[in-house]
Amino acid sequence: MPLTATNSDGRQLVPAHPVTASEAAHADGARALSLPCATTHRVRSQRRNRIPIPWRIHMSSHSAAAPDPETATPLHTLAPELAFPQFERSAPFDPPQAYTELSGRCPVAPVSMADGKPSWLITSFEGVRTTLSDPHFSSDMSHPGFPNRTGKPVDDLLKDTLGAMDGERHRYYRRMLTGELTVRRAKAMRPVITQITDEALDQLAAAGPGADLVKHVAFVVPSRVACHLVGIPLSDYELFTGMAATLMDSTSSDDQFAALQNMVSYFDTLVTDREHHDRDDLLGHMVRRYLATGELTRDMLIRLAWTTMAAGQETTAHMIGLGVAALLRHPDQLELLRREPHLLPGAVDELMRYLPLIQFGIPRVAMDDVEVDGQTVTAGEGVVALPPLANRDPAVFERPDELDVRRNARQHLTFGYGPHQCPAHALARLELEVVYGRLLERFPTLRLADSDADLKVQDKDIMYRVSELAVTW
């Protein structure tokens, strides 16, 4: 018989579908374990009861529940379950196996960060949404409890960017940026995105079968779109993309800091140009509307511009490479999109749900005691919300480990959630839709150049990505 649950009024809620035998066994096993996070097992087993998604999302959209003193186990008293980050995967498109195993029994678990300090790892859909939306969690990188995911010092320039702000100050600056990145403006860019994509596909075709799709398409399209949006001259295209790539490469702190300084200097030059020339681009608009009126300082304008463009360009570039690789490894889904191209917008969200792009998670620090998925996080403790695991939560997504381009995956968390959700998500979705669609139309027999070869991935950077993808047709 299917399991059911009741809401706060005592009314029965019918599950989206019956709990599978394996899931029921998983939940029963979790209840029997004695772990540092034992207080969460009861909550996790209830989450497996397939409560209908609209009800769950409505409930989780509120701030976290008041902490229960019985669940307040200080983080520093617990032995870490894992060292963070982990990298070993059972399959190239899956999150690291250790996270998956831990999430099944302990959705809020103590882990040891790269600098040796403890933090909570949040892996459930509900828990990640709470962490990213509750105002009692802060993005302030300067806080001593803020998780350090790489073990390297954080440059002061990063500590006062939009992504590291909270509350009213964050809202004040974010509204300036989102006004330039609306859905309407993104749609107006479709012709430009299509033209840039077609030119990149021309280069792929000219390179011939066996060409690297990452080199000719994945890195080219998002960076050229970013250049067009911000107003970066095409003559500076390689300079900009090189700096952005180095910023996201965690292998060398010295190189990252140098790229950061170069990026700031470069955008300072662009701002000076807009102060003397009236240009119709994002930077020009913000100079006239906010810098000239005194609502925005020069330093903050530069930070808003370069952080948004660098992060957005990298995210979309990696999703092109990973997304095409995933479709080529799932020929049934690829063929479905060829036959039914109207599925492309939804397929973009499904690929973003399925692929473990944000592999280092999203860090926060608790400014007050907050209950997350049955575990109290004490003020001053760090947490890392892990979207790749939340996007595979079986309480929200049926058959979560399968790629299904017919699925409604719009609620995935790869763009984040809450006040810090990616401000350019509409533009990113459109870019991916255009690139995937034009690629399948232009190369109807597209396939991997060597279907038996292992995918070449880069799993040590902040974002998981395909480093090379040789294709033929």
Residue 170 DSSP code: H
Q: What is the mean pLDDT of residues 443-457?
A: 92
Domain boundaries, the chain: 162-358+415-472
User: How much is the pLDDT for 460?
Assistant: 83
User: How much is the pLDDT for 155?
Assistant: 65
Q: What is the pLDDT of residues 339-348, one digit of tens each?
A: 999 999 999 9
Contact 361, 462 (CB under 8 A): no
User: How much is the pLDDT for 68?
Assistant: 60
Residue 19 has pLDDT above 50, yes or no: no
Strand order of the β-sheet with 447-448 is 211-212, 470-472, 447-448
User: Which of the two residues, 235 and 281, has the higher pLDDT score?
Assistant: 281
The residue assigned the tokens 């040796």 is 116
Residues 6+ apart with CB under 8 A from 294: none
Residues 6+ apart with CB under 8 A from 182: 426
Residue 116 has pLDDT above 50, yes or no: yes
Q: How confident is the model at residue 39 (pLDDT cuts 50, 70, 90)?
A: very low
CA dist 25 and 20 (Å) reads 9
User: Which of the two residues, 361 and 8, has the higher pLDDT score?
Assistant: 361
Task: Output the six-digit token pair for 176.
Answer: 């300036």
User: How much is the pLDDT for 13?
Assistant: 34
Backbone angles phi, psi at 143, to 5 degrees: -70, 135
Among the residues of 88-182, which ranges form H helices? 97-105, 125-133, 167-178
Q: How confident is the model at residue 283 (pLDDT cuts 50, 70, 90)?
A: very high
User: How much is the pLDDT for 254?
Assistant: 79
Contact 171, 419 (CB under 8 A): yes
Find the Cα–Cα–Cα–Cα dihedral 269, 274, 275, 277, rounded to 10°: 120
The architecture in CATH of the region 162-358+415-472 reads Orthogonal Bundle (1.10)
Backbone angles phi, psi at 423, to 5 degrees: -70, -15
Pick from 57-71, 289-303, 403-417, 423-437: least confident: 57-71
The dihedral sign for the CA sequence 312, 314, 315, 317: positive
Q: What is the mean pLDDT of residues 103-122?
A: 94
Return contacts of 245-253, CB within 8 angstroms, 24+ apart: 245/219, 245/314, 247/310, 247/314, 248/310, 248/314, 248/461, 248/462, 248/463, 249/461, 250/150, 250/152, 250/460, 250/461, 250/462, 251/460, 251/461, 253/152, 253/153
User: How much is the pLDDT for 50?
Assistant: 30
* Average pLDDT in the chain: 84
The residue assigned the tokens 């995935």 is 412
User: How much is the pLDDT for 45?
Assistant: 31
Q: What is the pLDDT of residues 407-443, one digit of tens each?
A: 999 999 999 999 999 999 999 999 999 999 999 999 9
> Considering the entire predicted model, what is its pTM?
0.84
CA atoms within 13 A on the CB side of 74: 3
Q: How confident is the model at residue 137 (pLDDT cuts 50, 70, 90)?
A: very high
Q: What is the pLDDT of residues 188-220, one digit of tens each?
A: 999 999 999 999 999 999 999 999 999 999 999
Q: What is the pLDDT of residues 145-195, one digit of tens each?
A: 999 988 777 766 677 889 999 999 999 999 999 988 999 999 999 999 999
The dihedral sign for the CA sequence 383, 385, 389, 392: positive
CA dist 221 and 423 (Å) reads 19
User: How much is the pLDDT for 251?
Assistant: 61
